[in-house]
C-alpha cells in the first residue's frame, strides 16, 4: 500500500539521521499496535487507545527492545546503537532519560526496517513485540 512512498535507496537511508528512522518507526509501530488491537479486541476506540498506550510508551518500548536484543542481527544491533546514541534534545515526560534513549533506539529499528523494505523481518519483529508486551 505504501511501497510507492519510499523512494530512497538503502545507501540514502543509511545516511539519514536515526531520529528520522525513529520518527517513521514511531508511526509504523503505533499503526501496527492499533491494527492489532482493532483486529483482536472488541474494545471501543477510547479503551483501545488506553490499551495501546501500554504498548507504545517509552518504558514499554525500552523493555521490548531489551527482550529483543538477543534475536537481532548484527546489522540491527548497529541500527539500535546508532538510534540509542543519537543526541535528542527532547526531555521525556513520563520516562527516565535511559528509557527514552532505548525507546528511540527501538523506534529507529522499526523505522529502518520499514524504510529499507525489510517487510518480512519487520513483521517478525513486530509480532515479537506484541508477544513480549502481552
pLDDT digits (tens, 9 = 90+) for 68-121: 999 999 999 999 999 998 876 666 677 787 888 999 999 999 999 999 999 999
**pLDDT-above-90 percentage for the chain:** 75
pTM of the model: 0.90
Q: How far apart are CA 117 and CA 114, in angstroms?
A: 5
The answer to whether 26 is a known catalytic residue is: yes
| Whole-angstrom distance, CA of residue 93 vs CA of residue 66 | 21
Listed by start position, the domains of the chain span 18-28+57-133
Choosing from 3, 4, 26, 71, the catalytic residue is 26
Q: What is the pLDDT of residue 93?
A: 72
Q: Exposed/middle/buried for 51, CB within 10 Å: 0-12, 13-18, 19+?
A: middle
Q: How far apart are CA 55 and CA 2, in angstroms?
A: 23
- Class (C level, CATH) for 18-28+57-133: mainly alpha
CB 17 within 8 A of CB 108: no
Amino acid at each position: 500500500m505504501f511501497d510507492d512512498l519510499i523512494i530512497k535507496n538503502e545507501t540514502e537511508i543509511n545516511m539519514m539521521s536515526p531520529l528520522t528512522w525513529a520518527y517513521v518507526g514511531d508511526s509504523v509501530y503505533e499503526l501496527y499496535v492499533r491494527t492489532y488491537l482493532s483486529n483482536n479486541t472488541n474494545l471501543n476506540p477510547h479503551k483501545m487507545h488506553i490499551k495501546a498506550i501500554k504498548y507504545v510508551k517509552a518504558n514499554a518500548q525500552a523493555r521490548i527492545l531489551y527482550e529483543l536484543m538477543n534475536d537481532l542481527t548484527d546489522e540491527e544491533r548497529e541500527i539500535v546503537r546508532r538510534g540509542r546514541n543519537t543526541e535528542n534534545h527532547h526531555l521525556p515526560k513520563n520516562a527516565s532519560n535511559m528509557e527514552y534513549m532505548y525507546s528511540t533506539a527501538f523506534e529507529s529499528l522499526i523505522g529502518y526496517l520499514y524504510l529499507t523494505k525489510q517487510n518480512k523481518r519487520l513483521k517478525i519483529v513486530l509480532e515479537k513485540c506484541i508477544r513480549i508486551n502481552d
